[in-house]
Chains A and B, each alone.
Chain A
Amino acid sequence: MGERLSIKTERDEQNLFNVRIIVAAVLILFALVGITVRAYHLQVIEHDKYAELSREHYQKRIPIPPNRGQIYDRNGTLLAGSHIQYVLEIVRDSIGDENNDGKTNIKDVEGVVGRLGKLIPLTEKDVRIFTQDVKKFKYQPIPIRENLTEEEVAKFSVNRPRFPGVNLEMRMERYYPLHEVASHVIGYVGRIDEGDLEHLNKDEYLGTSHIGKTGVEASHEGRLHGQAGYHLVEVDAYGKQQSVIDEKAPVGGQDLFLGLDIKTQITAETLLKEEGKGAIVALDPRTGEVLALASVPTFDPNLFIDGISRKDYTDLNTDPDRPLYNRALQGVYPPGSTIKPMAGMSGLISGIMSPGSRVNDPGFFRLSGQKHVFRCWNKRGHGSVDLKLAITQSCDTYFYTLANRMGIDKFSGYMKSFGFGKPTGVDMPSEASGLMPSPEWKEKRYKSAWYPGDTVSVGIGQGYWLATPMQLAHAASIMANRGVRVKPHILRSTRIAANREPELIKPEYLDAVNANDKDWSVVLAGMEAVMMPGGTARGAGAGAAYRIAGKTGTAQVFGLAGGSYNAGRIAKRLRDHALFVGFAPADDPKIAVGVVVENASGSGGHTAAPMARKVMDAYLLKKYLDDAPVEPEVEKQGADKPPANAAASPAADAGVQDDLHD
């Protein structure tokens, strides 16, 4: 009985056990299927994601920065180039000790730096920046000293075996061989900062440390930079390079040839420096190319390349003459009488005036029913004047009348078609739009109604009207072209490599100013007469080898209540600005010029116009003012003038003229 029970128990136990094993076997099957499903999830469903992550891990792009394009003037004079700079770099993983026994000691970075410092001078700053970076990267080269001199390079090369892990690397660095010349045009490059990072294509700038900050360097950054290349390398978890998978060579930036004629540019800058502050813009009216764009004072762009020192920056920024400010594009001035030819054209186009219409100038203009008088600069009055004479003698009353008859809306409309009131669109950064006032603008800005008197002031380029020197030169070139409007541009041609032909930039035509030929002839004849005996710039026009058309202007900085103006008697900063617009040769215009001299020693006719003449001589006759052999010649020519005009000039003029040639 007991035995049977035991047998039954034995069998029951076996059955019980079998059930347990089978249940376990099934659960184990499920569990392993679960693991397999998990693998399926990772390896099939999410495969793409992990494959990408894996690639990102072990492939690294090492960028090869492209060489920046060079900048030349129209004749191939180098304005901005790149030269080789030597940099010392240390790879922490590869440094060794002085005994050179082949053992590397990664901890002894300080020792290596110390020994290096005895050979090549290292500043405290060099060492501090290096020490910060070197902790982060074991295999990457970290620069410790930049800008090694030839002597230092030679010194290091001789001692190189003593410094395993210290490499001498070459880098391309920007430099500006002409220093302060044309610095407002060329601009400069500087280290890429936070602001730049926001808008640049990061892939293209990996490995590039500098970017154009102002001038052509900034506006043509895209052409100058080129395309970055790369080495695609396999790296391990520590960032150590294993093998090169793929590579792409960089494409160098394009070389730029500017419209600038550097000798004309130097002439313009030299002329302005004599007066202190101002701007001269010269355009080729046929193509819109900028031949000269001078803003004085200038600065040395080389200061900015490697991070300007605090002192230099403060000096530049606190200089009351504001050398960093590009007057040619950002400076806004009341255009004064320089706009009279354009105003005259608007009168003819609109039909309000005809070439023969005469206005009587008693020396002032008075709106009907009002007491206030608008004075003509000539208190005695010009008598009865037609348009040509009004331009030649710059009769204010004629243009007061014209503007008053036309009304502000029409008047601003015509002036806008001559390019006033908005940027000309030249390919340079931060061009100001100036201001062509209108009743809407006044309402918005001053919450005040537009009075007829406002229109009268605008008629002679005063009032609220503001224009940039670039706009003046642009308007002059429209006059030279008899209405054809070409957008000014600084870039003349580009070439993709030194062995390729440069490719010319095509002129871009804007909406022309339409008027019949007779009308143009009348106004242009007036402008030519300005440069001749009886005109306001007769001195500047005297003895020219070609015909010149122009118009002078003077802009008040300081309102004189009734008293007569004498440049010699008031503070320099309160003196009037002298202005001039013009072009030459009048019968075949090749150069159009806008001149603004801030706080000038004389009027537009006596200060600004002779400068324009010298710029024209420089460009057309190659009479440059850049060096000693050329300068006396120009001066002699200038000195010839006063006797020729002395008779026609008011007494004060001779004195001013003399000032100019002191």
Chain B
Amino acid sequence: MINHILPYWLLRIFHRVDGVLLAALSLLVFMGGVTLYSATDAYNDPTQLYRQGVHFLIGLSLMVIFSQIRSKTLRQWAIWLYGAGVFLLILVLLVGVSKKGAQRWLYIGVDIQPAEIMKLAVPMMIAYYFSEKPLPPRFIDVVIALVLVFVPMLLIMKQPDLGTSLLIATSGFFVIYLAGLSWWLIGGAVVLVSIAAPLMYFFGMHDYQRKRIDVLLNPESDTLGTGYHIYQSKIAIGSGGVYGKGWMHGDQSHLDFLPERHTDFIFAVFGEEFGLMGNLVLMGLYLFIIWRGLYIAIKGEDTFARLLAGSLSMTFFFYLFVNTGMVSGLLPVVGVPLPLISYGGTSVVTLMVAFGIIMGMKRRKRVYQQEN
């Protein structure tokens, strides 16, 4: 029916968009909006809620646009995007803008954060690199891929922005994993990391980072200082109970005990107001979205498409895991938003673009075949 109403070009555009994934994402964004309404007290001041709506619409448009881009095209952009990203990161370290002790921004009329570009550019670059090679990769290719990961990672770590550098590195590692990195090497890496982590703790961290880990291991030790965030968010989640305190009835969040409640700690607001039941629904929805992304990856048009779609889906999971793990007190405090729920334009737009890319990676059926 709809085929007869809409013009052919528009139909073609929508055909490339994965309807299932879009529906699930829309539901997630809706849940995010509901939570944000409560977390920002939108009945008093709806500005932030409106803005988040605008972010979503921008993200949605970009998603539709990126979903049109075929893997062959995107592949060609990879190296340029990556190269430009690394260049900008170097510029940041040389002439960047400092805020709160970290030099992460470039001023070009507005402040931009080049690390955001690398969230997409790094997996694209590694996927591009492996798509040229026979898989599973040879050892030398793995080493080169790792160098491609470490260069931006170290540049970002230098800013310093440990959280983002780990996230970006992880998205690169996911590509290497999906490319078929030997299980032995993976095992070896796990062992190496578990040895390196304590060394890193003692020699490679800033005091504030070390403190976050101390607090994670013993949160009650510092309930007024660094531990305050985690302590308050655990109280918020825990006091929510099975069914939650009800929408708009979270005491912890509404009485300002919970810091960053509309951004990084929104999961605590959600948990307090909707309880364990809400969490089950939310986790189910996230799982569905991630699995759908992975399914699309399997259906990818070529190696680049598969690797990129798979790693972006896994990265999406990783954001989710790091955020919920942090808010529920399992992981140290790292500034990662809850994907598509936390307030914040950059994050929403980047994620929607990533889903657009994932959708575009799907193997194309010819549109005319359907018309027959």
Contacts and interface: CB of A to CB of B under 8 A. Distances in A.
A20 B328 contact: no
Contact of B252 (A36, A39, A54): A54
A44 B307 CA distance: 40
A31 B310 contact: no
Contacts, number: 132
Contact of A32 (B180, B242, B286): B286
Most chain B C-beta atoms within 10 Å of own C-beta, residue among A39, A234, A238: A39
Interface residues of A, number: 39
A84 to B, nearest CB: 35
B291 interface: yes
A521 interface: no
Contacts of A13: 135, 180, 303
Given A28-B317, A43-B241, A50-B239, A17 B306 contact: yes
Contact of B238 (A20, A34, A49, A58): A49
Contacts of A32: 283, 286-287, 317, 320-321
B172 interface: no
Interface in B37-96: none
Interface string B237-252: 1111110000000011
Contacts of B276: 39-40, 43-44
Contacts of B256: 236-238
Contacts of B257: 57-58, 236-237
A149 interface: no
B330 interface: yes
B154 interface: no
Contacts of A38: 325, 328-330
B324 A35 contact: yes
B298 A24 contact: no
Interface residues of B, number: 47
Contacts of A49: 238
Contacts of B329: 38, 42
A647 interface: no
B335 interface: no
B177 A20 contact: yes
Interface string A299-325: 000000000000000000000000000
- The winner among A40, A46, A53, A238 for most chain B CB atoms within 10 A is A53
Interface in A222-259: 234-238, 242
A16 B286 CA distance: 25
B127 to A, nearest CB: 12
Given A17-B178, A35-B324, A39-B279, A28 B290 contact: yes
Interface string A4-24: 000001000110111011001
Contact of A237 (B174, B178, B255): B255
A49 B135 CA distance: 53
Contacts of B294: 21, 24-25
A57 B251 contact: yes
B280 interface: yes
A57 B329 CA distance: 19
Contact of A43 (B242, B290, B303, B330): B242
Interface in B216-242: 234-242
9 contacts: A21-B298, A28-B290, A28-B291, A32-B287, A38-B329, A50-B237, A50-B238, A57-B235, A237-B257
